Amino acid sequence: MDSLILSMRLAACVSAILLLIGMPLAYWLAYWNWRGKFLLEAIVALPLVLPPTVLGFYVLIALGPHGPIGKLSESLFHRGLAFTFGGLVFASVLYSFPFTVQPLIASFETIDRRLLDASALLGASSLRTFAKVILPLSLPGIVTAVVLSFAHTLGEFGVVLMVGGNLPGVTRTASIDIYDHVQSMEYAEANRMALVLLIISFIVLSTVYGVNRRIGRRMWASWAAR
Amino acid sequence: MLKAQLQKARSASARSSFVLDVAIEIPSGITIVFGPSGAGKSTLLDCIAGLLKPDGGRIEIGGEALLDVAQRIDVPPAKRKIAYVFQSLALFPHMTVEQNVAYGLADRPAPQRASRVKAMLEAFRVRQLAKRKAHEISGGEQQRVALARSLATSPRVLLLDEPLTALDEGLKKSIMEDLRGWNAAQNIPILYVTHSRAEVDALGERVIVLDQGKIISTGTPHEVLDAPRRSSLAQASGFENLFSGVVTELRESDGVMRVRLVKGACEIETPLGHAAVKTAVRLAIRAGDILLATERPYGLSARNVIAGKIIALEQRGTMFVAQVAADADHAVVFTVHLTLGAKRALELDINQPAWLVIKTHSCHVLED
C-alpha cells in the first residue's frame, strides 16, 4: 500500500499546486484578449496530445545535472531533481496542466461579462470581483479542475516512469507498482492495486458528474474520456 | 451636470461600423437617448461608464474630469461613481436581494450599511424580498432591485440601458415614478437609453436623438419626433411610408404646399416647409394615419384622397396591414394599418379598389 499512499500524496501536491497556478492563468486566458493568446492556449493543451514519454524525456533532461532546472536545484539545495519526489511533482504538474486550466477557463468564460462590469461599477477592485463574483459562480468548474487533475495524476504512468524511475517509497507510484507486479507474474497483487485504482477513478468521476449535472455542463467529459 | 465630448470608432468587425462622435451636456433629471438599434446608444453609455475607452474626447461631472484623452486622464470604472443599469440588469445570481444592494457599500461600517440597504429597499418597494435570491423574483422586482443596488452608493450619474423594455406599461410607469421620487431629492443626471418610440412618449422628458453615432436632434419628444427632419429618424420613429417627391406649388396664405411624388402621378398636399418650388423632399406618413375607404369618399375635410388598388393584406397580431398601389405599375405603394374589425366590416380583399384619405398635417416633410 506504500505505493498507493505515495500516489495519493503526489496527486494531492500536484492538484494544490495546479490550482494555485491554474487560477490566475485561467483568469488571464479567459478575460484578456491579445494577439499571441492562441500560442499560450496551444502550449497549455499540449500535454493532452503529447506522448507521456516525450514529455517525460524532456523533463528528465531539464531536471538532470546538465539541465537548467537540475542546475538551479543543485545550486539552491545541493541536490538534483531527477528520480526524486520533487522531480515527480514537477513533471506531473506539467502533465496535468490542461486538466486544471481548461475546466477553469470554461467556467470563467460562462460567467456573464456584465456581472463583472456591474461589480466594477459598484466600486469593487478586480480582486474583490474575483473573490465575490467569479469564484462562487465558477465553483463547479473549480471542483472539476481539482478532481480531474487529482485523478489524472493518480493514474499517470509514462511520465512517472521516465522522470521518477522505480524507487520504492520515493517514486514507485501505484501504477508503476501494478506494472512491476505484472512483470513478475504476481497477478493477485496487480489485481488488488488495479481494482483500488479503478474504484477510486470511478468515485472521482461520479463526483464530477454529480457536481456538474446540477448546472448541466459536461465540457470536461471529452477530456475525461481520453 | 455631466459633460461628455467623445469619439469612438466601432471596430470593423461589429455589425454596423461608424464613428461615435458626440458632444452632450446632461443636466440633472431624466434625459432620454433615443435612436434605432445600432445607433451607438450603448457604446455611448459604456464610454461614459469607463467600460469602453474612447479614441478621443473628455468626460466630466461637475467640473471633475473622468476622462481626458489628450491629458491622459482615465479614471477606472470602479472610481467614477457612475451607476449603470444594464439591459440584462446583471444582478448577482448567487446573492440575495439584500446582498446585491449591499454590494457597493463594502467600505461602510456594518450598521450604516444595514440602514442604507433598508432605506434603498424601501424606496424601491422591495423590502419584503430582502432574503430572496435574485433569480427567484419577477422581472419587475428585478428592475427595482437593480435600481436600488446601483443607487445605494450615491452615484453622481445614473445610466439606464433599456432597463424597462420587457415590462408592461403599468409596471414601467410605477417604477419610473419611484425613480423620479428618489431623484427629486438626489437631483442627479439620469441618461435613459431606448429605441422604443412608445417609451419616449411615456417618459416625456428631454430627448437626444442618436443615429449612426451622431446626435441629429435634441428637444422635447414632441419637437423631435413628431416632425422628424431626417428619413432614418422617420423610419426609427415609426413612419412606414416614405416617398421621394418634388415641391410643385407653395400656397403660403393657406400654409400648405403640394408635392408630386417622383414615381407615379400622385400629388399630395403637405404643411408648408422650408423647401422652395422644384426642390426634392421626402414625405413621411404613418400607416396608422391613413384612412381607407372602399368607395370614393365625399364631403371630407382631408385634402388628400388617392385612388388605388389593394395589392396585399396581411394580419400582424391584432392588426391588419394593407398595401395599396396608387397606380397600375405599383410604383407608389402605401402601407395602411387597419384594425381587425375594420377589415371585417369593409370585407376587404386583394385587387379591390380602395381610396386612401390622408390629412395634410399627417404628411411630414423631411430634409434629407
As a whole-number percent, the residues of chain B with pLDDT over 90 amount to 29
Query: Which residue, B190, B209, B235, sits at the end of a domain?
Result: B235
Q: pLDDT grade, residue A221 (50/70/90)?
A: very low
Residue A145 lies in domain: 2-29+98-224
Query: Which residue, B176, B209, B235, sits at the end of a domain?
Result: B235
| Residue A69 belongs to a domain | no
The pLDDT mean for chain A works out to 85
Q: What is the pLDDT of residues A128-182, one digit of tens each?
A: 999 999 998 988 889 889 988 998 898 888 888 888 877 787 788 888 889 889 9
| Residue A71 belongs to a domain | no
3-class secondary-structure state, position A149 = helix
d(CA B139, CA B145): 10
Q: Is the pLDDT of residue B230 over 70?
A: no
| Residue B76 backbone phi and psi in degrees, to 5 | -65, 155
Q: Report the number of distinct structural domains present in chain A.
A: 1
| Residue A165 belongs to a domain | yes
More confident residue, B290 or B223: B290
Q: Which of B86, B107, B150 sits opposite A114 (nearest CB)?
A: B86
Q: Is the pTM of this model over 0.90?
A: no
Task: Say whether both B56 and B190 belong to one domain.
Answer: yes
Give me the CATH number covering residue A159. Answer: 1.10.3720.10
- Distance from A209 to chain B by nearest Cα, in Å? 21
Q: What is the pLDDT of residues A182-204, one digit of tens each?
A: 999 999 989 998 999 899 888 88
Give me the CATH number covering residue B276. Answer: 2.40.50.100
d(CA B283, CA B242): 5
Task: Say whether both B249 and B187 belong to one domain.
Answer: no
Task: Say whether both B206 and B272 belong to one domain.
Answer: no
| Residue A73 belongs to a domain | no
Q: What is the pLDDT of residues B25-47, one digit of tens each?
A: 999 989 999 887 778 888 899 99
Residue A222 pLDDT: 36
AA identity, residue B285: I
Task: Say whether both B106 and B12 belong to one domain.
Answer: yes
3-class secondary-structure state, position B192 = strand
| Residue A203 belongs to a domain | yes
Question: Residues B355, B265: contact at Cβ < 8 Å?
Answer: no
Which residues from chain B sit within 8 angstroms of residue A137, using beta carbons? 93-94
Lowest mean pLDDT among A35-44, A207-216, B154-163: A207-216
Task: Say whether both B220 and B245 belong to one domain.
Answer: no
Residue B228 pLDDT: 63
**CB-CB under 8 Å, B78 with A121:** yes
DSSP state of B105: G
d(CA B368, CA B365): 10
Task: Say whether both B16 and B56 belong to one domain.
Answer: yes
Q: Report the number of distinct structural domains present in chain B.
A: 2
Cα–chain center distance at B142: 22
Question: Residues A154, A203: contact at Cβ < 8 Å?
Answer: no
Averaging pLDDT over each range in A174-178, B211-215, B278-282, which range is the top one?
A174-178
- Distance from B146 to chain A by nearest Cα, in Å? 10
Q: Which of B79, B86, B106 sits opposite A118 (nearest CB)?
A: B86
d(CA B293, CA B291): 7
Q: Which of B78, B86, B93 sits opposite A123 (nearest CB)?
A: B78
| Residue A85 belongs to a domain | no
Task: Say whether both B9 and B98 belong to one domain.
Answer: yes
Give me the CATH number covering residue B141. Answer: 3.40.50.300
Query: Which residue, B235, B269, B302, sits at the end of a domain?
Result: B235
**CB-CB under 8 Å, A120 with B76:** yes
d(CA B209, CA B206): 10
Q: Which residue has the cell 428619413?
A: B231
- Distance from B99 to chain A by nearest Cα, in Å? 11
Three-state secondary structure readout of A54-71: HHHHHHHHHHCCCCHHHH
d(CA A133, CA A127): 10
Task: Say whether both B302 and B272 belong to one domain.
Answer: yes
Q: What is the interface pTM, i.e. ipTM, of the complex?
A: 0.75
AA identity, residue A177: D
Cell digits for B247?
A: 415641391
Helix (H) / strand (E) containing B51: none
Task: Say whether both B217 and B310 belong to one domain.
Answer: no
Task: Say whether both B110 and B202 belong to one domain.
Answer: yes
- Distance from A67 to chain B by nearest Cα, in Å? 45
Residue B236 pLDDT: 60
CA distances from B80 to A36, A218, B154, B166, B310 (A): 32, 40, 12, 29, 58
Q: Which of A114, A125, A132 sits opposite B78 (nearest CB)?
A: A125
| Residue A53 belongs to a domain | no
| Residue A163 belongs to a domain | yes
Task: Say whether both B340 and B230 belong to one domain.
Answer: no
Helix (H) / strand (E) containing B92: none
Task: Say whether both B62 and B131 belong to one domain.
Answer: yes
Residue B289 lies in domain: 239-366
Q: Are strands B256-261 and B241-251 parallel, antiparallel or unpaired?
A: antiparallel
